[in-house]
Amino acid sequence: MKPDSNPDVMTIRQMCDAFDVTPRTLRFYEAKELLSPIREGTRRLFTRRDRARLALILRGKRFGFSLEDIRQTLDLYDRDGGQTAQRQKAYELAMKRLTEMEAQRAELDLAIAELKTELAEAEARGLVSRHAA
């Protein structure tokens, strides 16, 4: 019987298709303790928790955070386990990340505005056409 009868867990290939990553990447993330799929014999089965974490990981990457940065922040989203002291640390770390992200947002807004200005000027100088080949 196939193991994917359970809709709550996914095989490595299903994960790859769903998130557009390679098996190597998922195993790598597991080795780095970003994911912790359960084992059915030797095979990995990824739970909802793994999927949620992977989504957060990929997002974090798009924002330029390192896997190590991400790993540490990730624990906040784990409402269940963890000692109080650990949770407190995760919380504070997440606060720090929040501050960073808000700063990044501010700078991003600025950069976008500047780039728009630059594009408008280039246009005004008549050296480019809005839509070409």
**Does residue number 23 form part of the binding site for DNA (CB under 7 A)?**
yes
**Does residue number 126 form part of the binding site for DNA (CB under 7 A)?**
no
Joined tokens for residue 27:
């195993």
Residue 44 phi, psi (nearest 5): -90, 140
Minimum distance between the CB of residue 117 and DNA, rounded to whole angstroms?
Answer: 26
Asked whether 91 and 98 are in contact (CB, 8 A), the reply is no
**Does residue number 97 form part of the binding site for a copy of itself (CB under 8 A)?**
yes
Minimum distance between the CB of residue 104 and DNA, rounded to whole angstroms?
Answer: 17
**Does residue number 44 form part of the binding site for DNA (CB under 7 A)?**
yes
Asked whether 19 and 54 are in contact (CB, 8 A), the reply is yes
Element (H, E) at 40: strand 38-40
Using CB under 7 A, list all residues that contact DNA.
1-2, 11-14, 22-25, 27-28, 32, 41-44, 61, 66-68
